[in-house]
């Protein structure tokens, strides 16, 4: 027998699959479809990371299995290729980002192909292709037409190094997620997308989909729905301040108010304010800080009391002071709060620092030590007509009272902010709008799309923060499509999240010139049946793409309210020492090296066997070797094959159980235990010293989604017909998964007292239950204590009682 040589056989099968288009999705819409999706990669200069193939292989297993089960499977791939790292590389090395992208894509492509993933390469897409971004621009214009894209002066997070505005999500712990440099606030005119208009639907429709629970929870938290009240406080001098509170029940404990530094009231009441200069200095300082610094980071509360005005607590009718402090954000609620230091941590710290009264209004805590916040079960005190009520009842009663008095109204708020959609960078989709003095913002006519990214001399953003496109005067200066007058183009480009917000729609009809996809194909393929991706994309990409999809659904363009029926997520692959893999730690494992040394099948088996798919796991080179040994033993099985289409009597139950186990585990993210079952079966073949052709056939079919190359090769070598991926997935017979029943003796304190009938693989627990159910045996232990149990499967059940 020739030895197992993955290098040779893997390349051979990859070429055959490629040439014959084995994994192309068919346009035959009579078949039941299955759309499997992984997050298309960003083709970075580093090439493929060992983390990439984990989700890709997992869904490849599912896709291959579903094809064998008769589904028309779409498992596409493409490139999410606009974005900062490519642009930064291009600037540094003076190479056009398009060239950089092409090079990176080539490398990624050959790496992915070497893994034997069953992608439909005929549908490959690239977000930087004009044929693709034409439709990204088209969707943007739809959003613009419906009033969901608007331009607004907004304080943005400004990375001092990349010189680019960042979305909140791109700022991590106050620094730029990409380069680690300091992020400051800067006021800029930005295109914004009104994702907030979809906040409620984005929460509610989570009920329609089958996402793993932690994804649903993260999405809900990010959207941050909260139910509360807007309450009016009279100001001495006539005005009112409206606050947003989720705890109207604590109104009697509101001992002061705080407004955000940006609150317009300061300007309105400036004639009454006595310490305006002091306030202005404070406000100026606050403006420099990011929201993150103001809220999360600031342990020490700062603020200034507004001298000259005060507010009236509508419940106690007492006058309370008003402060300006940066722990209150203008961008949430009304930008003003009633401070209840007895029951809110931030208010408590602030009150301590400024020597303000702290009143307990919910009993059960110790407000000397700190705010009593976890008080859902508490009882109201010091609160007049709501005293003695539980929090929930008190909330309801005071809400009604405030409504009757005309002092408040119920209000739902969301943490979710509109999406800052402008980037002042080169390597992105140009925003297809023209500004005209007379007509305002006018869309580039549809027939002129795509609006191509023009060539520039250099890709550096300008120091003023404009995109490099602003420097190309003859591109910027144009005519207004509406009135023919003078106009100039928007020079901002779209953020990297744009292209990935709808890519799954393009896959269903990637070469369509008339539309981003035909109605028939959208109707047939949507929704995506199973989408797997990283947890880090739960609040950004997943939410953004659900938003775009919902918008397109409302426009009648896509057939389903939700894009993805099912969402799962994988854990990360860490370095051998349990740290994140990174260049600086020098612990990066290169997939190319693993494939070269052990083969792609070993790599695939290893990544699926490495541990619980949903958890992060450290890489282990020994583990890789173990998986290679497994495949070596699979290869050697050839010499044990004997004639016989069926299963041998000793292995029949085992075969059926394994088919069932593997079939179920591959559907429920338990790839590791599915593979373990195959390893056990292999051991059983070896112990038996033989394997029938029928058994080998099934074994290879079950193995094929995980290790497709070796499975194809052995299939051919053993003379089975066709290619293995064209075969039907094996079926099991439930009746035959039940172990043979056997009789064993039950011995109590050394004497045989009876016999029980138990499955040959029954456990000690099974034996105990059967023993207890047998009255005659149970007699001997009734009222006594079992001090020891020894169960030898298939032989005897020994009990010692006292
Ligand atoms: C009084 C109160 C008493 C509050 C208490 C909390 C606890 P969520 O759940 O996040 O919506 N708040 C309102 N607007 C704010 C702003 N712009 N900046 C900072 N804080 C703001 O939280 C709502 C609560 O956060 C509101 O309820 C308000 O404080 C504060 F025992 O009002 B609460
Ligand atoms: Zn005009």
- Structural domain count, the chain: 4
Please name which of 135, 140, 164 lies closest in space to residue 151, comparing C-alpha atoms.
140
Kindly identify the ligand whose nearest atom is closest to the C-alpha of 488: 2
Q: Which residue has the tokens 């990371």?
A: 49
Q: How confident is the model over 562-577, as pLDDT tens digits?
A: 999 999 999 999 999 8
- Last residue in a domain, options 350, 381, 411: 411
Q: Domain check: are 320 and 355 in the same one?
A: yes
Instruction: Tell how far the Cα of 513 is from the centroid of ligand 2, in angstroms.
Output: 29
- Note the ligand closest to the C-alpha atom of 443: 2
Residue whose CA lies nearest to ligand 1 atom number 19: 328
Q: Minimum-distance ligand to the CA of 436?
A: 2
Chain-wide mean pLDDT for the chain? 94
* DSSP bridge partners of 231: 243, 408
User: Which residue out of 226, 241, 244, 292 has the highest number of ligand 1 atoms within 8 Å of its CB and is therefore the one to mutate?
Assistant: 244
Same domain, 405 and 263: yes
Ligand 2: centre distance to CA 449 (Å): 19
Question: Taking a C-beta distance cutoff of 8 angstroms, is the pair 37, 76 a contact?
Answer: yes
Domain harbouring 650, CATH code: 1.10.730.10
Q: Are residues 315 and 385 in the same domain?
A: yes
Residue 419: closest CA among 591, 199, 205: 199
Cβ(230)–Cβ(402) under 8 Å? no
Query: Which residues line ligand 1 at a C-beta cut-off of 6 Å?
Result: 226, 244-247, 250, 328-329, 332-333, 335, 337-338, 340, 343-344, 413
Minimum-distance ligand 1 atom for the alpha carbon of 248 = 1
Residue 669 token pair: 């993210």
> Are residues 247 and 181 both part of a single domain?
no
Residues 668 and 787 in one domain: no
Q: 238 vs 639, which has greater pLDDT?
A: 639
Q: What is the pLDDT of residues 731-771, one digit of tens each?
A: 999 989 887 788 899 999 999 999 999 987 788 999 999 99
Is 745 in the same domain as 713? no
Structural domain of 790: 739-801
- Residue 301 and residue 161 share a domain: no
One domain for residues 303 and 387: yes
CA 170 to ligand 1 center in whole angstroms: 25
Question: The domain spanning residue 754 has which CATH number?
Answer: 3.10.20.590
| Contact residues for 324 (Cβ-Cβ < 8 A; gap 6+) | 258, 259, 260, 261, 263, 266, 279, 282, 283, 303, 304, 306
**Is residue 247 in a domain?**
yes
694-732 per-position pLDDT tens digit:
999 999 999 999 999 999 999 999 999 999 999 999 999
Report residue 586's pLDDT band, with 50, 70 and 90 as the boundaries: confident
Query: In whole angstroms, what is the distance from residue 153 CA to residue 149 CA?
Result: 13
> Which residue has 């149990």 as its token pair?
789
Cβ atoms 231, 245 nearer than 8 A: yes
Looking at the domain assignment, is residue 718 inside a domain?
yes
Domain boundary (686, 705, 731) is at 731
Distance in Å, CA 448 to ligand 2 centroid: 17
Q: Which of 411, 441, 473 is the last residue of a domain?
A: 411
CA distances from 740 to 148, 684, 745 (A): 66, 17, 17
* Cβ neighbours of 282 (radius 10 Å): 18
**Domain-embedded: residue 462:** yes
Q: Which residues pair with 788 in a beta bridge?
A: 800
Residue 396 lies in a domain: yes
Rounded to two decimals, the pTM is: 0.88
Q: Do the domain assignments include residue 497?
A: no
288 plus 386 within the same structural domain: yes
**Interval between CA 246 and ligand 1 midpoint (Å):** 6
Quick check: is 785 in a domain?
yes
CA 333, CA 617: separation in Å to the nearest integer?
Answer: 41
Please check whether residues 242 and 371 belong to one and the same domain: yes
Q: Which atom of ligand 1 is nearest to the CA of 339?
A: 1
Same domain? 205 vs 327: no
Ligand 1 nearest-atom number relative to CA 371: 31
The atom of ligand 1 lying closest to the CA of 362 is 31
CB atoms under 10 Å from CB of 53, counted, come to 25
Check if the beta carbon of residue 224 is closer than 8 Å to that of residue 333.
no
Q: How far apart are CA 241 and CA 102, in angstroms?
A: 57
pLDDT band (50, 70, 90) for residue 297: low
Q: Phi, psi at residue 756, to the nearest 5°?
A: -120, 155
Does the pLDDT value for residue 296 go beyond 70? Answer: no
Quickly state the pLDDT bin for 169 (edges 50, 70, 90): low
* Residues 302, 400 within the same domain: yes
With the most atoms of ligand 1 within 8 angstroms of its CB, the residue from 337, 399, 416 to mutate is 337
Peptide bond before 302: cis, by omega within 30 degrees of 0?
A: no
Cβ proximity of 326 and 302 under 8 Å: yes
> How many Å from the N-terminal Cα to the C-terminal Cα in the chain?
61
C-alpha–C-alpha distance, residues 72 and 67, integer Å: 6
- Judged on CB neighbours under 10 Å (0-12, 13-18, 19+), 32 is exposed
Regarding an ipTM greater than 0.95, the answer is: yes
Q: Ligand 1 pocket check: which of 232, 245, 335, 416 to mutate, most ligand atoms within 8 Å of Cβ?
A: 245
């Amino acid at each position: 027998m020739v030895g197992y040589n993955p290098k040779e056989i893997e390349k051979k099968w990859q070429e055959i699959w490629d040439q014959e288009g084995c994994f192309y999705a068919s346009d035959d819409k009579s078949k039941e479809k299955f759309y499997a999706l992984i997050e298309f990669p960003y083709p970075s200069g580093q090439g493929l990371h060992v983390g990439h193939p984990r989700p890709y292989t997992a869904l490849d297993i599912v896709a291959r299995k579903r094809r064998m089960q008769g589904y028309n499977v779409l498992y596409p791939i493409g490139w999410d290729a606009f974005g900062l790292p490519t642009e930064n590389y291009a600037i540094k090395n003076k190479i056009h980002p398009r060239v950089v992208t092409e090079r990176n894509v080539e490398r990624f492509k050959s790496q992915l192909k070497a893994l034997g993933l069953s992608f439909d390469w005929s549908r490959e897409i690239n977000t930087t292709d004009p044929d693709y971004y034409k439709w990204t621009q088209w969707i943007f214009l739809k959003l613009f037409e419906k009033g969901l894209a608007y331009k607004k002066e907004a304080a943005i997070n400004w990375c001092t190094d990349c010189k680019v505005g960042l979305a909140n999500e791109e700022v991590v712990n106050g620094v730029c997620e990409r380069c680690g440099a300091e992020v400051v606030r800067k006021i800029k005119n930005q295109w914004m997308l009104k994702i907030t208009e979809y906040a409620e639907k984005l929460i509610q429709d989570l009920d329609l989909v089958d996402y793993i629970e932690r994804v649903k929870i993260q999405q809900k938290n990010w959207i941050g729905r909260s139910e509360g009240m807007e309450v009016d406080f009279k100001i001495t001098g006539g005005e009112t301040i409206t606050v947003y509170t989720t705890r109207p029940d604590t109104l009697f404990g509101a001992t002061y108010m705080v407004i955000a530094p940006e609150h317009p009231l300061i300007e309105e009441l400036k004639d009454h304010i006595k310490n305006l200069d002091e306030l202005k200095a404070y406000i100026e300082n606050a403006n420099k800080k990011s929201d993150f610094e103001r809220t999360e980071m600031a342990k020490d509360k700062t603020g200034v009391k507004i001298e000259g005005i005060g507010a009236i607590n509508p419940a106690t009718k007492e006058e309370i002071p008003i402060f300006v402090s940066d722990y209150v954000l203008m961008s949430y609620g009304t930008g003003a709060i009633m401070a209840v230091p007895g029951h809110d941590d931030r208010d408590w710290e602030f009150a301590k620092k400024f020597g303000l009264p702290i009143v307990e209004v919910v009993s059960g805590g110790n407000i000397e030590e700190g705010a009593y916040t976890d008080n859902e079960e508490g009882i109201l005190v010091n609160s007049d007509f709501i005293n003695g009520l539980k929090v929930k009842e008190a909330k309801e009663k005071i809400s009604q009272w405030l409504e009757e008095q005309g002092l408040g109204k119920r209000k739902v708020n969301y943490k979710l902010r509109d999406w800052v959609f402008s980037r002042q960078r080169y390597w992105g989709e140009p925003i297809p709008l023209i500004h005209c003095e007379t007509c305002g913002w006018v869309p580039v006519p549809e027939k002129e799309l795509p609006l191509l990214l023009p060539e520039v001399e250099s890709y550096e953003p300008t120091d003023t923060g404009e995109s490099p496109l602003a420097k190309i005067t003859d591109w910027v200066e144009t005519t207004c499509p509406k009135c023919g007058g003078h106009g100039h183009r928007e020079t901002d480009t779209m953020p990297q999240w744009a292209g990935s917000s709808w890519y799954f729609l393009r896959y269903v009809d990637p070469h369509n010139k008339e539309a981003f996809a035909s109605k028939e194909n959208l109707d047939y393929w949507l929704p995506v049946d199973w989408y797997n991706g990283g947890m880090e994309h739960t609040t950004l990409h997943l939410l953004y793409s659900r938003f775009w999809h919902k918008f397109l659904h409302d426009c009648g363009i896509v057939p389903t309210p939700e894009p993805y029926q099912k969402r799962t997520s994988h854990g990360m692959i860490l370095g051998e020492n349990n740290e994140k893999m990174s260049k600086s730690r020098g612990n990066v494992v290169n997939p190319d090296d693993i494939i070269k040394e052990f083969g792609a099948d070993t790599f695939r088996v290893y990544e699926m066997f490495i541990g619980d798919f949903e958890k992060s796991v450290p890489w282990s080179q020994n583990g890789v070797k173990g998986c290679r040994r497994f495949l070596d033993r699979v290869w050697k099985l050839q010499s044990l094959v004997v004639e016989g289409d069926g299963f041998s009597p000793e292995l029949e139950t085992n075969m059926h159980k394994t088919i069932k186990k593997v079939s179920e585990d591959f559907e429920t993210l338990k790839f590791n235990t599915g593979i373990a079952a195959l390893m056990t079966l292999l051991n059983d073949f070896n112990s038996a010293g033989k394997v029938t052709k029928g058994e080998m056939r099934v074994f290879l079919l079950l193995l094929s989604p995980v290790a497709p190359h070796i499975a194809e090769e052995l299939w051919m070598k053993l003379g089975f017909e066709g290619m293995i991926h064209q075969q039907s997935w094996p079926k099991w017979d439930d009746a035959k998964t039940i172990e043979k029943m056997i009789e064993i003796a039950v011995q109590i304190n050394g004497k045989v007292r009876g016999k029980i009938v138990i499955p040959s693989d029954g456990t000690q627990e099974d034996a105990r239950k059967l023993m207890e159910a047998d009255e005659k045996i149970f007699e001997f232990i009734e009222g006594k204590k079992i001090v020891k149990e020894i169960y030898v499967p298939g032989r005897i059940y020994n009990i010692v009682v006292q």
